[in-house]
Amino acid sequence: MKRIIMAVAALGLATTGAAAQSSGQSGSHNPVVKDGTAHHVAAPAKGRSSFTEDQAKGRLAKAGYTDIAGLRGTENGAWQGMAMKNGKKVTVTLDYKGNITAR
Interval 59-77: pLDDT, tens: 999 999 999 999 999 988 8
Using DSSP, state whether 40 is helix, strand or coil.
strand
Nearest to 76 by CA among 54, 101, 55: 101
Which residues sit opposite 92 in a β-bridge?
81, 102
Q: Please state the length of the chain.
A: 103
Quote the pTM value: 0.58
Cα distance between residue 74 and residue 66, in whole Å: 21
pLDDT values of the chain reduced to their tens digit, one per residue, 103 residues: 667 766 666 666 555 554 444 444 444 445 555 555 666 666 666 667 788 999 999 999 999 999 999 999 998 889 999 999 999 999 999 998 888 999 9
Cα distance between residue 16 and residue 3, in whole Å: 20
